[in-house]
Structure 1
Amino acid sequence: MQDAHSKPSRFSLQFLGANATVTGSRHLVTAGNARILVDCGLFQGYKPLRLRNWAEFPVDPASIDAVLLTHAHLDHSGYLPRLVRSGFRGKVWCTEATRSLCGILLPDSGRLLEEEAGHANHSGWSKHHPAEPLYSEADARASLARLRGVGFDHGFEPVPGVHARFRAQGHILGAAAVTLEFEGRRITFSGDLGRPDDPLMPAPASLAASDWVVVESTYGNRAHPADGLEEELLAVLQRVVARKGVVVIPAFAVGRAQMLLHVITQLQASGRLAKVPVYLNSPMAASVTGLYRQFPRLHRLDAAELDAMQRTTHVVESVEQSKALNRHKGPMIIVSASGMATGGRVLHHLVAFAPDPRNAIVLCGFQAGGTRGAALAAGQKHLRIFGQEVQVGAEVVQLAAGSAHADASEILAWLRTAPTPPRGVFVTHGEPDAADALRTRIKHELGWPAHFPEYLEQVELA
């Protein structure tokens, strides 16, 4: 215990990402002489943000003692292989499910980055000669050796003198809030906050007692619709099936792909939707679905529901099968990664099916600014894919009920579960209008100090 008259050790927080954007989550905590990085995500979307992935890391990676991951989505974990390649040698702490998911997501990310660089070199559309990936599949696999799995609500010390604990957040398998305690001072990072009525995931656990809270604000200025996802999705699927079209659904391989397939399976089983072919064209999403059986206590689906989903869905394994799918006629439904159409096999389906007005592109979940998904949601009629212009004649629908993130009122409800009011809240992981709207509501409705930090801003947790 610290002497009552001694000066407390330094405890500070620097925001290295997810400021005025929903990607690149990276928060650097200094506790005494130790450095802990909470989340290690990729920047996605607008080019100036993506260029931060290539820039020199704001602090020497070798000086970081530990990394803690709130969950496995690439905007929270996807920079880890680059950090390790640049000199980080500490342990990476996460929940067991996050560790398993990273074992799938990170090598897949490296492989896609290599394929994209190879395609750019073959087609000559990159300004870089030769184009190189941010990291390779081998880099990603090497980084996995640093991961250490911890159970929910189990205390651990990522560095001596700092106590940490993960609490379940819903959202996706393994997603957690993490609370750090150092010399009697506590800070909690929300990670991505799930919804209380998500079809797949349980409601988030209550907020731990904290002096400071870093909270996400993806939907900080919005309310999710009262009608459920099932009705919203059914309406567009029925329209497209009736005109014998193809439905292409860019879906995040972790969480949203499984949720969509579950809902489609239920709709077909009930007879409300015709039993047209349903394809899952994402090897990563197929592997992730297997983890739902490995972690049955972390989600709402039972074995029978997983079996039904497996029977309904045709999994596309090889590249040749993926290419052949583009020659198929409708009606059919294709669920494919990535969720914001930033890469992956879904891009080839957009090239094949986006021009035809009989077809539909269904967006499920938040579309970060600067992504193809955001361009589609905004009504853009041309997409640039693989160096060519693709006309968008297909119907584009963004599902308002399809998000795995809490909306503004749900975030406030979670904050209200705090045993005592915190000394301050930092609002991150949101576009500027969303983050500032949530900051205002926290200030006026909860009466707590709230701040919308800037990129690279540093605060003392005194």
Structure 2
Amino acid sequence: MKVTFLGGAGTVTGSKTLIESNGVRVLVDCGQFQGIKPLRELNWEPLPILPSTIDFVLLTHGHLDHCGWLPRLVNQGFKGKIYCTSPTKDITKLILLDSAKIQEEDANRANEGKYSKHEIAEPLYNIDDAESVFPYFRIIKENETISLDAEISAVFTNAGHILGACSITLVLEGKTLVFSGDIGRDDDVLMYAPTKPKKADYIFLESTYGNRIHPEEDVKSLLEAYINNTYSKGGTVIIPSFAVERAQTIMYLLWQLKEEDRIPNIPYIIDTPMGISVLDVFENNKKWHKLSDEDCVAMCKMFFMNSDYQETINMIYDKQPKVVIAASGMITGGRVLSYLERYISLIETTIIIVGYQAEGTRGRKLLDGATDIKIRGKYYDVKANIVEIEGLSAHADQQGLLNWLSELHSKPAKVFLVHGENQPADELRIKIKERFDFNCSIPLMGQEFEL
């Protein structure tokens, strides 16, 4: 049995882990690389193996960095089955269609504006490519064992990260392999706490926040203060947000603040068509989250939900103070760019960063104090107030990751630390060694291990 790390090694994007056993190939996640250019360029490279030789893809959840390379995989010959939970299937469809649309639009803009370095800018994949993935989906229920092969079985258990997110246990050749996926928080506003593994010979553990402890923040009070301070200056609050789970969590918290009469009566806008569509996924998958029907209806009434891009233009040029939640969460694309083109150079603007920002993304650059930022081929001075609320992260922090390992009945042969940049992964390795004395390895991109 052999494992090869094709992505998500030394980085928080592009998750792809290949397991080979007795002629069967299983790919856990098939994510798109984001962030710095050398990583993004990997999206255009073929896999080191033929996609047609992969028998199964198992998706932990529907975020782009875990599912966003599926159209390329199918386009290059994959004909197997893609197993995931029902919410993950619905979210992945939305994510892929949205990603394809954004890439097509970005390519068209680059060609029209002639700011691409290529003679003709092309999207990584288009909407037809995204739709070609859908026939390969197969639904697996939480905690239900399925047989992939005569000697290979899989079980999906709740990971608490976003709607439908799961850890995956593979049993093959008498060994138990556990893939954490992205681990959520025990005290998340909307998601249930992740299920901890009891048995594993090999663990593949995410390390996104392997070197950080989330601060004990009063998230509602911070939102209240930032909104009221910005309103007093006549400014606009822009919250770049992941459309899945994060946007809905922020909506819920803002609704609570409004109900408590703690924030002003100004327009509150959801400007992410995908984020609006995800509300339907919440409605159709009630057992996966804590939000009641009554709260969902009341919450939604507070917001202007914008799907039409002409309305986006109208909102951008409306001078009255407002709060805008717009995708994407790392400011790598989407409608939030249109708002930032207008507002990032205004001192009365506040931009609230509410999630992990991968290396090289605009979000990371803003947090690191960039004085100007490039959007669609043009540089803009950063004069807006850039703030961060870490308490809204959907990832477990170092303590949460350690706690996730705490119920194992016996010591695994090895823990592979993946889906993290090198320093967080190494600091988590040290903590795991100190607390559990587990043997940890931090794989490099493309590295192979015999299990």
Could you state the TM-score of these two structures normalised by the residue count of structure 1? 0.96
2:101 paired with 1:111: yes
Measure, in 2, the Cα distance between the counterparts of 1:292 and 1:358. Answer: 35
Quote the residue 1:411 is aligned against.
401
Quote the residue 1:276 is aligned against.
266
Please state whether the residue corresponding to 2:200 is helix, strand or coil: coil
Measure, in 2, the Cα distance between the counterparts of 1:238 and 1:432. Answer: 38
Quote the residue 1:16 is aligned against.
6
- Residue 20 of structure 1 deviates from its aligned partner by 1.3
Amino acid of the structure 2 residue aligned with 1:284: M
Measure, in 2, the Cα distance between the counterparts of 1:276 and 1:213. Answer: 48
- Residue 157 of structure 1 deviates from its aligned partner by 2.0
Q: Confirm or deny: 8 A CA contact 1:14 1:28 kept in the other structure.
A: yes
Q: Confirm or deny: 8 A CA contact 1:247 1:362 kept in the other structure.
A: yes
Quote the residue 1:57 is aligned against.
47
Q: Structure 1, residues 180-234: CA drift from partner, whole Å, max 9, x if none?
A: 0012101000000000001010100121411010000110000001123212222
2:395 paired with 1:402: no
Measure, in 2, the Cα distance between the counterparts of 1:372 and 1:183. Answer: 44
Quote the residue 1:215 is aligned against.
205
1:324-403 equivalent positions in 2, closer than 5 A: 324-403=314-393
Quote the residue 2:35 is aligned against.
45
Measure, in 2, the Cα distance between the counterparts of 1:421 and 1:299. Answer: 32
2:144 paired with 1:140: no
Measure, in 2, the Cα distance between the counterparts of 1:228 and 1:74. Answer: 29
Name the count of aligned residue pairs.
451
The correspondence for 2:149, drawn from 125, 149, 159, is: 159
Residues 305/311 of structure 1: CA separation in 2 closer, same or farther (3 Å cut):
same
The correspondence for 2:232, drawn from 242, 253, 256, is: 242
- Residue 420 of structure 1 deviates from its aligned partner by 2.1
Q: Confirm or deny: 8 A CA contact 1:188 1:208 kept in the other structure.
A: no
Q: Structure 1, residues 309-362: CA drift from partner, whole Å, max 9, x if none?
A: 111110112111111111012320000000000000100000011111001111
Amino acid of the structure 2 residue aligned with 1:308: A
Quote the residue 1:126 is aligned against.
116
1:434-449 equivalent positions in 2, closer than 5 A: 434-449=424-439
- Residue 158 of structure 1 deviates from its aligned partner by 2.6
- Residue 235 of structure 1 deviates from its aligned partner by 1.9
List runs of 5+ in structure 1 lacking aligned partners.
Answer: 1-10
The correspondence for 1:73, drawn from 58, 63, 77, is: 63
Please state whether the residue corresponding to 1:83 is helix, strand or coil: helix
Quote the residue 1:303 is aligned against.
293
- CA RMSD in angstroms, aligned pairs only: 0.9
Please state whether the residue corresponding to 1:393 is helix, strand or coil: coil
Amino acid of the structure 1 residue aligned with 2:233: R
Measure, in 2, the Cα distance between the counterparts of 1:121 and 1:161. Answer: 51
Q: Structure 1, residues 76-98: CA drift from partner, whole Å, max 9, x if none?
A: 00000110001111010001110
Measure, in 2, the Cα distance between the counterparts of 1:235 and 1:400. Answer: 15
Identity %: 39
Measure, in 1, the Cα distance between the counterparts of 2:18 and 2:238. Answer: 39
Quote the residue 1:5 is aligned against.
none
List runs of 5+ in structure 2 lacking aligned partners.
Answer: none
Please state whether the residue corresponding to 2:3 is helix, strand or coil: strand
- Residue 290 of structure 1 deviates from its aligned partner by 1.4
Task: Single out whichever of 234-243 and 285-294 deviates more from structure 2.
Answer: 234-243
Measure, in 2, the Cα distance between the counterparts of 1:352 and 1:370. Answer: 22
Quote the residue 2:169 is aligned against.
179
- Residue 419 of structure 1 deviates from its aligned partner by 2.6
Measure, in 2, the Cα distance between the counterparts of 1:181 and 1:117. Answer: 43
Measure, in 2, the Cα distance between the counterparts of 1:349 and 1:402. Answer: 22
Measure, in 1, the Cα distance between the counterparts of 2:116 and 2:148. Answer: 41
Measure, in 2, the Cα distance between the counterparts of 1:283 and 1:397. Answer: 25
Amino acid of the structure 2 residue aligned with 1:348: S
Amino acid of the structure 1 residue aligned with 2:415: V
Could you state the TM-score of these two structures normalised by the residue count of structure 2? 0.99
Measure, in 2, the Cα distance between the counterparts of 1:144 and 1:428. Answer: 27
Please state whether the residue corresponding to 1:84 is helix, strand or coil: helix
Amino acid of the structure 1 residue aligned with 2:102: L
Which runs of structure 1 show a deviation greater than 4 angstroms over 4 or more consecutive aligned residues?
A: none
Amino acid of the structure 1 residue aligned with 2:128: A
Measure, in 1, the Cα distance between the counterparts of 2:147 and 2:82. Answer: 12
Please state whether the residue corresponding to 1:231 is helix, strand or coil: helix
2:187 paired with 1:206: no
